[in-house]
Structure 1
Amino acid sequence: MSLGDTYLTVLGWIGSEPDFKEIRQTPQTSFRLGSTPRQFDKTLNGYVDKPTTWYTVQCWRGLARNAFESVRIGQPVIVTGRLRTHEWTDDNGELHSRVILEAFSLGHDLARGTTTFTKNTPRSDSFPFTPTSATQDPADATATPYPPDEFTTTTLPLTAESPAAEAA
């Protein structure tokens, strides 16, 4: 994270079909995200919708591929990213700007439904080359289809222990 950047987490609904393209051989997926806050109105004794805020979300690299294959228009999602301003000048010399949410995390909002997760297989170009790996016999190498998990897990006991055992 850099100093001075604005980071944001938005809960909303996908408002356009995700658009996938490669920019200088880098995958990018973009889509529109609408977020409509609700507020309780005492006079109506109920909730009312406030104005919808629309964001253009951009995902890059692996997130772009996964987002394009996973999310569809109308689905509820949670997006975390950095706000960026894209500025350009049109043919008439007029300056335009657009705020973009550059996502670094995206997922379905599980408070609103269920989803199924499939872990990516590691890319072959993501493993660094070492001279020892080039000289090592491939039969001696062991590999797993997935990289190790970031966190270790501890097995919890399935039976409750008696209070007397805890006191000892």
Structure 2
Amino acid sequence: MSDTYVTFHGWVGNEVTHRDPNGVSVVNFRVASTPRIKRKGEWMDGDTTWYSVSAWRGLADNIRESVKKGDAVIVHGRLRSEAWTREDGQTSTTLIVEASFVGHDLNRGTSSFLRSSRPERNEVDVHEEIADMVHRGADDLTPMDSWGNPRGTESDQPAA
């Protein structure tokens, strides 16, 4: 089955909600997209389409910090639809976009970019560390079993 990707612009219709299920960041928000169409020589608003947008991990964190209700945004992501039954018994369809990219629509206003910080990494000279390991004496190395697991001392072994 092929995935359908869409790109659209519109206005954020609610506050961004953030959750952290199983330690993975996710946000959800709705976007209203209303096209301008020309009918009989006059420009008018077309029908508004509402999209439910979700984003995960780092993108979710950045959206949580950047996007607010009423912001003009551009969204690109994978489109799917979900049918559900309303309380009155009628069937409705929701358009859901799992976002790959989200940004402010700069045709509608200005924005200021702040680079996200990356998780801290140890700044280790890999070549120096490898050379140190190669030149270490056998008595300085951790004993390993045939599976590459560190072999414990006799005191680490369970009693028989």
TM-score by length of 1: 0.65
**Alpha-carbon shift at residue 133 of structure 1 (Å):** 7.3
- Residue 132 (1) aligns with residue 126 (2): yes
Task: Look up the match of 2:45.
Answer: 49
Q: Which amino acid aligns with 2:25?
A: P
Q: Measure, in 2, the Cα distance between the counterparts of 1:134 and 1:53.
A: 58
User: Identity of aligned pairs, percent?
Assistant: 41
Q: Which amino acid aligns with 2:118?
A: P
Structure 1 spans left out of the alignment, 5+ residues: 90-94, 137-168
Q: Which amino acid aligns with 1:11?
A: H
Change (3 A) 1:133 1:25: farther
Following superposition, which runs of at least 4 residues in structure 1 exceed 6 angstroms of deviation? none
Larger radius of gyration: 2
Structure 2 spans left out of the alignment, 5+ residues: 86-90, 131-160
1:20 match: secondary structure:
strand
Task: Look up the match of 1:103.
Answer: 99
- Residue 113 (1) aligns with residue 135 (2): no
- Residue 36 (1) aligns with residue 34 (2): yes
Q: Deviation string for 1:75-102 (max 9, x for gaps)?
A: 110000001345789xxxxx98643100
- Residue 77 (1) aligns with residue 90 (2): no
Task: Look up the match of 1:19.
Answer: 17
Q: Measure, in 1, the Cα distance between the counterparts of 2:2 and 2:52.
A: 21
Q: Measure, in 1, the Cα distance between the counterparts of 2:4 and 2:19.
A: 26
Task: Look up the match of 1:92.
Answer: none
TM-score by length of 2: 0.68
Alignment RMSD (CA, Å): 3.1
Q: Which amino acid aligns with 1:101?
A: V
Q: Deviation string for 1:34-77 (max 9, x for gaps)?
A: 000111122xx421111100010001000000001101111110
